[in-house]
Amino acid sequence: MNDAVNTRPIGVIGLGSMGGGMALSLLRAGLTVHGCDLNPDNLKAFTDAGGIAAASPAALAAACDVVFIVVVNAAQTEAVLFGESGAVETMTSDSVVVSCATLGAEFAEKLGARLAEHQVLMLDAPISGGKAKAHSGELTVMSSGPERAYEKAGAALDAISETVFRLGDRAGKGSAMKTVNQLLAGVHIAAAMEAMALGIKSGLDPEVVYEVVCNSAGRSWMFENRVPRVLSGDYTPTSMVNIFVKDLGIVLDAGKGLPMPLPVAAAAHQQFIAASGMGEGANDDSSVIKVYQATSGIDLPQKKD
């Protein structure tokens, strides 16, 4: 997907664990990258790596034809595009917004139409792979949008991703696919933590439970990835509980709109809400196991000094 069209800098709005990694991948690919973030530590890490800091989304967009929006939710996406000093103020005709936040499909579709009114193209392009793959340039991108947007953003997409799925020619389909993925991701995490809690309550060594499941039919990527955080007693966030409070909420809203029942997703959502209500919302999403600690009295592994 080499892009011979766009030679101007690439912009990244949101330089957290995902956006920061993506920006580094873009820099490694030899691209000029402008970045914007409210967190000064994120900005410093970006500029130390060779990026160019922008004072606002509008300032960034004035210099860039392709702008990645890597924020948390729909409200932040709205703010950085259309709020005070928003990117749309200075985006030129035929420039591209690559929207990477997990959004409802209906919101994404409407966002694409609003940007089109400003002659701005949109790729509805939520991402998956976590912090490590963002930093290594191996994300999975679930995208939809017009061919011209893919042409202009091609080199940047190549730099950040291992696979770019093209799911349609307008915004909405990418976000619909991410909704399906997040249903599974959230359910798998909740189920993994329930299984570990059951093993611990049954008197099994949690390290042994992990080893056996990872070599049995019950294994999942989320089980293998998240359970080591429980075993180490380290709940430093890589993906927060509140992310799945939000994302499974989007899943359930999608079900209401279709309409179709999603009872398994609803049960998982309640576990994340419970963990958030216990004060674990900003901790790693594996903290959902602490709901079982509270309700069943299990002893969890402690962080080693």
pLDDT in tens, 191-244: 999 999 999 999 999 999 999 999 999 999 999 999 999 999 999 998 999 999
Residues in the chain: 305
Q: Which two tokens stand for residue 4?
A: 């011979």
Phi then psi dihedrals of residue 29, to 5 deg = -80, 0
pLDDT for the residue numbered 7:
64
Quick one: which of 178, 190, 244 has its CA closest to 220?
190
In 10 A of CB 104, how many CB atoms?
A: 21
**Residue 97: strand pairing partners:** 67, 122
Structural contact between residues 285 and 272, judged by C-beta atoms closer than 8 angstroms: yes
Give me the torsion for CA of 58, 1, 32, 173, rounded to 10°: 30
| 66: DSSP letter | E
| 50: DSSP letter | T
- 10-residue mean pLDDT profile of the chain (305 residues): values are 60 97 98 98 98 98 97 97 97 97 98 98 97 96 98 97 97 98 98 98 98 98 97 95 98 97 98 98 98 97 87
Handedness of CA 124, 128, 131, 134 (dihedral sign): negative
Q: Which residue is listed with tokens 């392009």?
A: 125
Strands (DSSP E) contained in 191-291 are none
Residue-wise burial string across 155-189, b where 16 or more C-beta atoms lie within 10 A, e elsewhere: bbbbbbbeebebbeebbbbbbbbbbebbbbbbbbb
Q: Print the SS3 string covering 127-166.
A: EECHHHHHHHCCEEEEEECCHHHHHHHHHHHHHHEEEEEE
pLDDT for the residue numbered 31:
97
The CATH architecture to which 10-171 belongs is 3-Layer(aba) Sandwich (3.40)
What is d(CA 171, CA 176) in angstroms, rounded to the nearest whole number? Answer: 10
Same topology, domains 10-171 and 178-296? Answer is no
pLDDT for the residue numbered 235:
97
Domain 178-296 has CATH 1.10.1040.10: yes
Single pTM value for the model: 0.93
Domain chopping of the chain, boundaries: 10-171, 178-296
* Catalytic residue IDs: 178
